[in-house]
A and B are shown apart, each in its own frame.
Chain A
Amino acid sequence: MVSKLLEVTDLETHFISDDATVKAVDNVSFYINNAETLGIVGESGCGKSVTSLSIMRLLKNTPGKIVGGEITFLDQNLLNLSEKEMRAVRGNQIAMIFQEPMTSLNPVYKIGRQIEEGIRLHLKLDKAAAKARALEMLELVGIPRAKDILNEYPYQLSGGMRQRVMIAMAMSCVPKLLIADEPTTALDVTIQAQILDLMRDLRKNSDTSILMITHDLGVVAEMCDRVIVMYAGQIVEEASVLELFENPQHPYTKGLINSIPKLGNYTERLDSIPGNVPTPENMPTGCRFAPRCSFVMKQCLSEAPMLKGVQENHSCRCWLSEVEKND
């Protein structure tokens, strides 16, 4: 039986400043099963990173605050843990890699030290054993000259190599969940493919679940089992990857799928979605996507749709799919 590793229920994360409250994550619920890869896709600013930082409870140094919901991981609500208990989870049971490989490593310390310190912290290994483990991890992520790299500084490595180091670091304590926040966005295309290959291999050879955050449906198609589409802080569609690509329901999802460049189609313009994500100040009262939607109806402008199941394991937040269902 598949069991849920992580379940996020009604998560609300707000950014509170003097003049406004931005609901960066608005009533978001999802789950990840053991050894499953869940994708979160959406345009810039839709709340993907804030969702992942909320799970890690790493918003303390930002104006962001989790104001509601539950994050159940291994049967405990992470939001109820003390800061000390939470630190034992971070980097140990839940690890994270970031979008910015160039700046995510400390420039003044050697690679080896930076990998070893996490290993020593969580696995309580001694110096020599931690070093051996770091070396093993670097070899696992396909770094050539792994032994030398341990004694090198981040500036001596390329972006792709640094991201490999970040992955080695994240996987070194055998996390149950790996959160990858756009791990390939900052890399060029060939390196992107290498890193995705690497992550797929790692997934095959371990039970680690992955939360794959991206704005690239191509990455989702290659990597994920299930996918969540986010728009302006809300989930607008959720389905298995196959189902989503075959039977997209939400006009936003359809737009995203149409904007993937297809082979042999280079001469035509990309079918991108017109308009921009609404700013928090002028969030529409009805459906948040309505101003950009080509299927917009009267109802969409006044009433916000709910996330409703359209099929088993497929839900969508759109009046259109409810209309269809009622027909």
Chain B
Amino acid sequence: MLQYLLRRLLGMIPILFIVTIIVFLFVHLIPGDAARLVAGPDANKETIELVRKDLGLDKPIHEQYFTFIGNLLKGDLGTSLKTHKPVFDELAGRFIPTFWLTFWSMLWACIVGILIGIVSAVKRNKWQDYTGMLIAVVGISIPSFWLGLLLMQLFSVKLGWLPTGGLEDWRGYILPSITLGTGVAAIIARFSRSSLMDVLKEDYIRTGRAKGFAENSLVKRHAIKNAMIPVITMTGLQFGFLLGGSVVTETVFSFPGLGRLLIDAIATRDYPIIQAEILLFSVEFILINLVVDLMYGFLNPQIRYS
């Protein structure tokens, strides 16, 4: 098990290497002159060139990349072009809020999604199923910025129960988490339903019925564990969706997280920040995939130690 984990962690290195290249090229090949931006709108040609030299932007692109990697290995992500503070500090302050936002969103999305999925599958073609799937379709279709505004309108403006934005205390997490988790919950619900319905058609479920088990205890004892195996994989993929979704949600709720930092950074071409954020998102995604694989092995005995 430990060996497997180590092997997987080592396997991440080449992937990360490729990610750094892509991120680096991506940021450097999009149009727009960072040096001009840093120098300010009134700067003359000489100043801009000076700034360019200062930032190392005049060097050939591969040299820039090696500098970037070298610094990265030292834990130096560069300095923000806008605030002139280290990128690491900028990100650190924003990481925790976004982490919790993602965590709470995913947690409720999983619980609610799986519950709706199970009830719908067990009561298929009954009103519970129709209601569950109607909710799911709405949840998938509704754009998150609109849902966010709607919730804000109701709970913050009309009822005044929750803040409209920012993050003064834990209440600042509630509306963004609901907004961010809704789409994922809906997808998990639909996926759990179809997965459980497939499992209920399996031969071993028929064996369970022939043994004299009631339908409910069959679902609990025999079906859910099998049905959750594909759901876990799919949920892992949804993390990518959440990372993207946090950009929109954080903007709507002026939430001080990574998503909004990214939007600001893109607007001002603060490319050290952009680079670092995309890199961070990639690392998160790779780590989540690892966790998914470990859970997969936990549920499925056949692949446990191979």
Measured CB to CB, the residues of A under 8 A from B are 56, 58, 61, 83-84, 87-92, 95-96, 98, 100, 103-109, 117-118, 121-122, 153, 155, 166, 169
Interface centre among A83, A98, A106 (most CB of B within 10 A): A106
Measured CB to CB, the residues of B under 8 A from A are 200-204, 206-214, 221-222, 225-226, 229, 299-302
The reply to whether B212 and A108 form a contact with Cβ atoms under 8 Å apart is no
The reply to whether A100 and B203 form a contact with Cβ atoms under 8 Å apart is yes
CB-CB nearest in chain B for A102: B203
Q: How many angstroms from the CA of A169 to the CA of B207 in the assembled complex?
A: 10
Residues of B with C-beta under 8 A to A103:
202-204
Q: How many angstroms from the CA of A55 to the CA of B203 in the assembled complex?
A: 18
Residues of A with C-beta under 8 A to B221:
117
Residues of B with C-beta under 8 A to A84:
214
Q: How many angstroms from the CA of A67 to the CA of B22 in the assembled complex?
A: 66
Q: How many angstroms from the CA of A108 to the CA of B204 in the assembled complex?
A: 11
- A108-B301, A155-B301 as given contacts; A95 in contact with B222, CB under 8 Å: no
Interface centre among A91, A92, A100, A122 (most CB of B within 10 A): A91
Q: How many angstroms from the CA of A91 to the CA of B213 in the assembled complex?
A: 9
Report B231 CB to chain A, min CB distance, Å: 14
The reply to whether B211 and A108 form a contact with Cβ atoms under 8 Å apart is no
- A87-B214, A100-B203, A117-B221 as given contacts; A107 in contact with B209, CB under 8 Å: no
Report A180 CB to chain B, min CB distance, Å: 12
The reply to whether A96 and B204 form a contact with Cβ atoms under 8 Å apart is no
- A90-B209, A91-B212 as given contacts; A61 in contact with B200, CB under 8 Å: yes
Residues of B with C-beta under 8 A to A109:
222, 225
Q: How many angstroms from the CA of A209 to the CA of B213 in the assembled complex?
A: 23
CB-CB nearest in chain A for B209: A58
Q: How many angstroms from the CA of A98 to the CA of B203 in the assembled complex?
A: 9
Q: How many angstroms from the CA of A265 to the CA of B226 in the assembled complex?
A: 49
The reply to whether A108 and B206 form a contact with Cβ atoms under 8 Å apart is no
Option from A88, A96, A155 in Cβ contact (under 8 Å) with B210: A96
Q: How many angstroms from the CA of A121 to the CA of B221 in the assembled complex?
A: 13
- A107-B301, A108-B225, A108-B300 as given contacts; A118 in contact with B211, CB under 8 Å: yes
Report A172 CB to chain B, min CB distance, Å: 10
Report B203 CB to chain A, min CB distance, Å: 4
Residues of A with C-beta under 8 A to B206:
58, 98, 104
Report A173 CB to chain B, min CB distance, Å: 9
The reply to whether A91 and B222 form a contact with Cβ atoms under 8 Å apart is no
Q: How many angstroms from the CA of A175 to the CA of B300 in the assembled complex?
A: 32
Residues of B with C-beta under 8 A to A56:
210
Report A6 CB to chain B, min CB distance, Å: 16
CB-CB nearest in chain A for B200: A61
Q: How many angstroms from the CA of A89 to the CA of B207 in the assembled complex?
A: 14
The reply to whether A58 and B210 form a contact with Cβ atoms under 8 Å apart is yes
CB-CB nearest in chain A for B207: A104
Report A155 CB to chain B, min CB distance, Å: 5
Report A110 CB to chain B, min CB distance, Å: 8
Report A163 CB to chain B, min CB distance, Å: 12
Report A15 CB to chain B, min CB distance, Å: 16
Report B158 CB to chain A, min CB distance, Å: 47
Residues of B with C-beta under 8 A to A118:
211-212
Residues of A with C-beta under 8 A to B201:
61
Residues of B with C-beta under 8 A to A58:
206, 209-210
Report A17 CB to chain B, min CB distance, Å: 15
Option from A83, A106, A117, A121 in Cβ contact (under 8 Å) with B204: A106
Q: How many angstroms from the CA of A178 to the CA of B222 in the assembled complex?
A: 23
Residues of A with C-beta under 8 A to B222:
106, 109
The reply to whether B212 and A104 form a contact with Cβ atoms under 8 Å apart is no
Residues of B with C-beta under 8 A to A108:
225-226, 229, 299-301
The reply to whether A91 and B214 form a contact with Cβ atoms under 8 Å apart is no
Q: How many angstroms from the CA of A90 to the CA of B225 in the assembled complex?
A: 24
Option from A61, A92, A100, A106 in Cβ contact (under 8 Å) with B212: A92
Residues of B with C-beta under 8 A to A121:
211-213
Residues of B with C-beta under 8 A to A61:
200-201
CB-CB nearest in chain B for A92: B212
CB-CB nearest in chain A for B208: A106
Q: How many angstroms from the CA of A95 to the CA of B221 in the assembled complex?
A: 19
12 contacts between A and B (CB under 8 A): A98-B206, A98-B207, A104-B203, A104-B207, A105-B204, A106-B204, A107-B301, A108-B299, A108-B301, A117-B213, A153-B302, A169-B207
Report A94 CB to chain B, min CB distance, Å: 9
Q: How many angstroms from the CA of A103 to the CA of B209 in the assembled complex?
A: 14
The reply to whether A104 and B211 form a contact with Cβ atoms under 8 Å apart is no
Residues of A with C-beta under 8 A to B301:
107-108, 153, 155
Residues of A with C-beta under 8 A to B211:
90-91, 95, 117-118, 121, 169
The reply to whether B204 and A87 form a contact with Cβ atoms under 8 Å apart is no
CB-CB nearest in chain B for A56: B210
Q: How many angstroms from the CA of A98 to the CA of B202 in the assembled complex?
A: 12
What 8 A-B pairs have minimum CB-CB distances, sorted nearest first? Answer: A91-B212, A91-B211, A90-B212, A103-B203, A106-B204, A96-B210, A118-B211, A153-B301
Q: How many angstroms from the CA of A181 to the CA of B55 in the assembled complex?
A: 78
The reply to whether B302 and A107 form a contact with Cβ atoms under 8 Å apart is yes
Q: List 20 other contacts, CB 8 Å, given A83-B214, A106-B222, A108-B226.
A: A56-B210, A58-B206, A58-B209, A61-B201, A87-B214, A88-B212, A90-B211, A92-B212, A98-B207, A98-B210, A103-B204, A105-B204, A107-B300, A107-B301, A108-B301, A121-B211, A153-B301, A166-B207, A169-B207, A169-B211
Report B301 CB to chain A, min CB distance, Å: 4
Q: How many angstroms from the CA of A155 to the CA of B301 in the assembled complex?
A: 9
